[in-house]
A and B are shown apart, each in its own frame.
Chain A
Amino acid sequence: MESTENTDLFGRRLTRREALERGGAAALGLTLGGSLLSACDIGGGDGDGGGGEVVLWTEHTQPELGAMRKMITAYNKETDSKAKVVAVTGSETDIAKLTAAVRGGTGPDVYLLDRFTAAQRAEQGILEELTDFMEKDDGVESFKDQYLEFAWAEVEFEGKPYGLPFDTDARGLWHNKDLLKKSGVDPAELDPAKGPPTVDKVREIARKVDKKDGGAYTQVGFIPWTDQGWHYTWGFAFGGDFYDESGCKVTPTDPGVVAGFQFLYDWAKEMGPKQAMAFLSAHAQCTGPQTCNFTTPQESWPFLRGIVGMDVSGDWPINWMRQYGKGIDWGVTYIPVPEEGAESATWAGGWSVVIPKGAKNAEGAWELMKWFAGPEGQRSYSEQTSHLPTVKSLLEDQSLFDKNHQFFRKLLDVAHSRPPLPVGALYWDELTVALEAVALNRKQPQEALEQVAARVQPQLDKFC
């Protein structure tokens, strides 16, 4: 190219001129783009990072979010730190925002992660391993001893810790005593002192509460697959097992799990699967069991609107009822059992705090985590939100729990927990797909659950 430029004077003059033009065009395209870089840092800038700031991301919403903000304010005062809470979108198994941010190098320093997915996220390489941090402090064992056993097991992957357990919870059968009375049911029938109700009993009560207007439910006794009536809830309730550790097999077709799903299938059939669904769509704007679980109080939680007799939920709505309950007289008892005398089952979940890969201030993050998930932080969180702590010493402290909360606290001693698998989130989502098909009577339980095994086992096989 250079040789042609030197051919003659004419050509050379043109070259310079054209080079200018080229420059002009390219400059417009590129320099303006470049200047935009700085412009955007102003406009889009969160641009934190350095300094002593620690950023915690959570997908929690009010009122939990407010509680965390208070905790962080207290922490900042106490330790003279700069930490802050940022709300992001997500759900139990959807951490798209975190994945994207960590991959893009703009992740937070601390993330509040649904604990049973910690193993899967660790396997994906999103989380920092914490052994070194713990060894620098009092050692892994001393941390481990602080927490409930199942909760600690959930933050481990291949025997190494990837997080600190935060809160926990348990599930029970909530009921609206006012509504039951109005429907001619004696709420004492659901007194926990009488032990767990049978599913037949619950069905009988629910029928009395159901109310229709021109074919559409305007009030329902119980829709067992909504809210916390998950696959795990009913699988455990019917004595099912979800994982065979020795064989490294997921067992969604375990007879107990199938029985639990069969119960849901029959229930939907009796109510009319479409009518039940229409009730939920109308009053909670949800389109399936997948979206009909309520992590926010008020509008969308039909129980709070007084149009649902019974509902499987956790301990956290105790706080909602305090704040938004409008004087509803409610109670809570055990998850129903398949037959008289059987032992009631429930399960405990909860969250954990983790350090995502690429955290800009991992040291600060660790300091915050220890406080946040430690006795002081968890005490504050329990008091404010009525979630249960995972710190053993706090669970002994009777002053922390009122009567209803005490019920859930006791459930913890017998609660199951979900298997902490490296495919935990996938397994959950696939079980939800099956639950949805069964609740709509679109598939028989056996068939739906076989599909879960077919989709999850190959992914699990990679780790066996």
Chain B
Amino acid sequence: MSAVFLAPLYWMVSTALKGHDELLEFPPTVFPGSPQWSNFRDAVEFIPFGTFFLNTLTITVFSVIGAVISNLLVAYGFSHVQWPGRDFLFYVVVATIFIPFPVIIVPVFILMAKLGWVDTFLPLIIPAWLGNPLYIFLLRQYLLQIPRDLTDAARVDGAREWQVLWRVVLPLSKPALAVVAIFAGVFAWNDFLGPLLYLQSEDNYTLAIGLQFYRSQYDVQFNLLMAASTLVVLPLVVLFLAFQKQFIEGATMGSLK
């Protein structure tokens, strides 16, 4: 069963290593006859991979920073600060998890256009700085496990709210923040529709639409496309193997109490 799930990845790497003639051999070879490592170099040279990579990385890094800061603030506001109307608004947050994003693409696009943000990275980064209902929900659940006595003690000592957040809550919530960072990072790295809508010039393309652009316009050979895809996927695989626990915890956190 695991083999079935890994087959696509295997096929990607195997195709990436095939020479052009072997690619069109019938029946297809399961193992590349003579691995063509140069395909990777060719792919990087044929497609402006460096530019696309840097663009994607920029968007991802700023999104992650924004997601961590904003969701922590909001989750703290929803858990350790007492204020009227809080619980009602929290239900609103939870309800918005279920709104499918595409229903708002048209007006959000018009809004971004009015702001002059089209063909910049801003439409892809700024929303990450404004909290995400799912991450808020995850973080809040986690923050509630921090005993009130700890935060109250800090307040009694004269700490202001942001100091409580900074000194008491933040150090204790690092594991949950790691989950949020990973989720936000993976989302930004993988996003397709956002860049498709907002990035127009090739210099600004991310890997997602850059590869699609090259596939549709330049007729990239499939072994090169698979080589490029391997390079796109590789950081994720490494990240996943390094932070497997956080990934799996994150996935289960959303559903279990």
A and B in direct contact, judged by CB atoms within 8 A: yes
Which A residues contact B (CB, under 8 angstroms)?
Answer: 17-18, 20-21, 24-25, 28-29, 32-33, 36-37, 39-41, 43-46, 57, 59, 61-62, 86-89, 97, 100-101, 103-106, 285, 296-300
B66 at the A interface (CB under 8 A): yes
Count class of interface residues, chain B:
35 or more
Say how far A90's CB is from chain B's closest CB, in angstroms: 9
Contact of A103 among B54, B73, B110 (CB under 8 A): B110
> CB-CB < 8 A to B120: which residues of A?
40-41, 44-45, 106
- Please give 15 more A-B residue pairs, beta carbons under 8 A apart, in addition to A17-B160, A61-B217: A24-B162, A29-B130, A36-B66, A36-B126, A44-B58, A44-B119, A45-B120, A46-B203, A57-B201, A86-B201, A103-B110, A104-B117, A106-B118, A297-B219, A299-B222
The proximity string for B residues 151-177 relative to A, scoring 1 for CB distances below 8 Å and 0 otherwise, is: 000000000111000000000000000
Which B residues contact A (CB, under 8 angstroms)?
Answer: 54-55, 58, 62, 65-66, 69-70, 73, 77, 109-110, 112-113, 116-122, 125-126, 129-130, 160-162, 197-198, 200-204, 209, 212-213, 216-222
CB nearest neighbor in A for B220? A299
Say how far A449's CB is from chain B's closest CB, in angstroms: 28
- B55 contacts A28, C-beta separation under 8 Å: no
CB nearest neighbor in B for A285? B222
CB nearest neighbor in B for A20? B160
- A299 contacts B219, C-beta separation under 8 Å: yes
Say how far A47's CB is from chain B's closest CB, in angstroms: 9
- B126 contacts A33, C-beta separation under 8 Å: yes
A-B contact pairs, 10 of them (CB 8 A): A29-B73, A40-B58, A44-B122, A61-B218, A100-B198, A104-B113, A105-B113, A106-B120, A299-B219, A300-B219
- B200 contacts A88, C-beta separation under 8 Å: yes
- A28 contacts B213, C-beta separation under 8 Å: no
Say how far B51's CB is from chain A's closest CB, in angstroms: 11
Q: A37-B122, A103-B118 are in contact. Are A25 and B162 (CB under 8 A)?
A: yes
Chain B binding surface SS class: helix
Q: A25-B162, A28-B73, A106-B119 are in contact. Are A87 and B200 (CB under 8 A)?
A: no
- B73 contacts A36, C-beta separation under 8 Å: no
- A296 contacts B218, C-beta separation under 8 Å: yes
- A87 contacts B197, C-beta separation under 8 Å: no
Say how far A86's CB is from chain B's closest CB, in angstroms: 5
Say how far B104's CB is from chain A's closest CB, in angstroms: 16
Contact of B113 among A29, A33, A61, A103 (CB under 8 A): A103
Total inter-chain residue pairs, C-beta < 8 Å:
117
- A43 contacts B197, C-beta separation under 8 Å: no
- B201 contacts A36, C-beta separation under 8 Å: no
> CB-CB < 8 A to A299: which residues of B?
219-222
> CB-CB < 8 A to B65: which residues of A?
32
- B126 contacts A43, C-beta separation under 8 Å: no
The distance in angstroms between the C-alpha atoms of A104 and B201, with both chains bound, is 13
> CB-CB < 8 A to B126: which residues of A?
33, 36
> CB-CB < 8 A to A17: which residues of B?
160
Q: A29-B70, A89-B216 are in contact. Are A40 and B119 (CB under 8 A)?
A: no
- A29 contacts B116, C-beta separation under 8 Å: no
Contact of B125 among A18, A20, A36, A103 (CB under 8 A): A36
Say how far B210's CB is from chain A's closest CB, in angstroms: 10
The distance in angstroms between the C-alpha atoms of A32 and B69, with both chains bound, is 10
- B112 contacts A296, C-beta separation under 8 Å: no
- A88 contacts B201, C-beta separation under 8 Å: yes
- B217 contacts A44, C-beta separation under 8 Å: no
Say how far A423's CB is from chain B's closest CB, in angstroms: 21
> CB-CB < 8 A to A105: which residues of B?
113, 116, 118
> CB-CB < 8 A to B118: which residues of A?
100-101, 103-106
Contact of B119 among A37, A89, A104, A285 (CB under 8 A): A104
The distance in angstroms between the C-alpha atoms of A43 and B59, with both chains bound, is 9
> CB-CB < 8 A to B200: which residues of A?
88, 97, 100-101, 104, 106
> CB-CB < 8 A to B160: which residues of A?
17, 20-21, 24
> CB-CB < 8 A to A45: which residues of B?
120
Say how far B200's CB is from chain A's closest CB, in angstroms: 4
Q: Which 3 A-B pairs have the closest CB atoms?
A: A104-B118, A296-B219, A106-B119
The distance in angstroms between the C-alpha atoms of A25 and B70, with both chains bound, is 9
- B122 contacts A89, C-beta separation under 8 Å: no
- A36 contacts B62, C-beta separation under 8 Å: yes
The distance in angstroms between the C-alpha atoms of A101 and B222, with both chains bound, is 30
- A29 contacts B197, C-beta separation under 8 Å: no
The distance in angstroms between the C-alpha atoms of A61 and B219, with both chains bound, is 9
Say how far A93's CB is from chain B's closest CB, in angstroms: 14
